[in-house]
Structure 1
Amino acid sequence: HYIEKTTLKDAVNVAPATPSFSWEQLPSDNGLAKFRINWLPSTEGHPGTHFFTMHRIKGETQWIRENEEKNSDYQEVGGLDPETAYEFRVVSVDGHFNTESATQEIDTNTVEGPIMVANETVANAGWFIGMMLALAFIIILFIIMCIIRRNRGGKYDVHDRELANGRRDYPEEGGFHEYSQPLDNKSAGRQSVSSANKPGVESDTDS
């Protein structure tokens, strides 16, 4: 008589509980999007021994299956078209049993989830900030120069005002023009008026 035996491993193979997953966007690779899919096995039922990832473009029927991951709890999925909506699933595996997770939609240009920014993007941001600071400094310097020039332009002395109004006879010495006439000229004027009003002396011949 022969007794058929089964191994312990085959005896305990059961369907894993429904898993879930999270994701992270990684730096693009040659212009193609790349994501890290983190397997979150069930903590309330049988988790399964390993998993694999499936994805497809939203609206299509054919799923693309990644290789089974037996050494880690995540997979990196790359080569995805930019600005495209994809649907992802993870599948927990135990022996011949597979259990799929719920489907999550991931847009390759989304801002949700933790995003790892590429180094070239950080460098571009630094260059842009430096350019804006330099432009702001130039504008401030220009405003200060305009204010200084305006303040200097408002200070005119009396001589400059008279020249601007067309008066060229303004004396070079200080003082007012009407009081700067020589006293000798005024005295001579008075003497000439007195002489004109004074009657002449009669000559001896007239008498």
Structure 2
Amino acid sequence: MIIKWEPLKSMEQNGPGLEYKVAWKPQGASIEWEEETVTNHTLRVMTPSVYAPYDVQVQAINHIGPGPEPQSVTLYSGEDYPDTAPMVRSVEVINSTLVKVTWSAVPKERVHGHLKGYQVNWWKTKSLLDGRTHPKNVNILRFSGQRNYGMVPSLDAFSEFHLTVLAYNSKGSGPESEPYIFQTPEGVPEQPTFLKVVKVDKDTATLSWGLPKKLNGNLTGYLLQYQIINDTYEIGELNDINITNPSKPSWRLSNLSATTKYKFYLRACTSKGCGKPVSEESSTLGEGKYAGLYDDISTQGWFIGLMCAIALLTLVLLTICFVKRNRGGKYSVKEKEDLHPDPDIQSAKDETFGEYSDSDEKPLKGSLRSLNREMQATESADSLVEYGEGDHGLFNEDGSFIGAYTGSKEKGSVESNGSSTATFPLRS
């Protein structure tokens, strides 16, 4: 047994040579006190009994003498492990994962210390679904205080378990009770591992799924549900389909609406009911093979913006090509000359190609202009007679007016390259 007390403060010692006189004896025993004097404030005492009550006194002493007479306090000798186990009275099944365990209390004298509570150990031995045995993996749950029952949760459904109970004190745990064997009933399965829409058509959808990780019993089938979820304000009625074949991992839904978005729910079921659902969403197609896909894409803002950008870019490119084409075009020489005639060039053309005129009697524009300019320059009709003397005349045989270009060099006449002459009346 270890005896401890609070030491005196310096101001309480009232002198030098402070010591402590410790006395003890078994509680209720008519024997002399055992004593020991120490200078510190802790004393370890060997006792013949385990966790037995003792009367203990501690008195302070200095060189002047002892202090006030102490009062007795009750302390217990050292603890030992409990030497007996409680007995499991019953295991009440609350549901497939929860049981209530009841046990008998360990007698106080058999605890050999201060009882801190009871500990429940349990482990799964086999699955009732396939009969497969499991290695021993002990789970522990402690219930503090003086109590004789406890709730054990998180069990596996449709399984066999072993359970034991033991008492524990500050020293440690006592022996376990005999294993109590119990079984949990079937429960609802966990949700299927996945649900996928593997094929869609105009009015059909084919779904596939995986088994739950924990069946928690014998599967009796599946509950398939679906509804329309086109937008927030259009939630369709929930439709139910009971699939009674538990080994079937897929289902084909028919009579759906074209170009419609659906949400599907799938639950696995046992005789105890159906578990949590796994869900998936998909849209049916339109009239064409990809109508549903295009309908979904065309409703997206980014797609509409992309189409507008492409149309605008195409329009800009066409405008640039049209402007460049007009800027690099050519005009007809004939049209250019008609729009901007040059008198000198026109006269030369008339002199050179006069023989191809449309009519001999039609005066040439170039010849008339030259004649008028020459007549205005000479201002004398008589001078024109000199140009008409002899075989050489003012005009050649095709009617071209040569004198306009040679008159300044030779005043009298010009040489003709033809035999014929042309004359016109002169003023007298």
Taking structure 2 as the reference length, what is the TM-score of the superposition? 0.26
Report which of the two has the higher share of strand.
2
Taking structure 1 as the reference length, what is the TM-score of the superposition? 0.46
Report which of the two has the higher share of helix.
1
Higher relative contact order (CA 8 A, sep 6+): 1
The structure that has the greater radius of gyration is 2
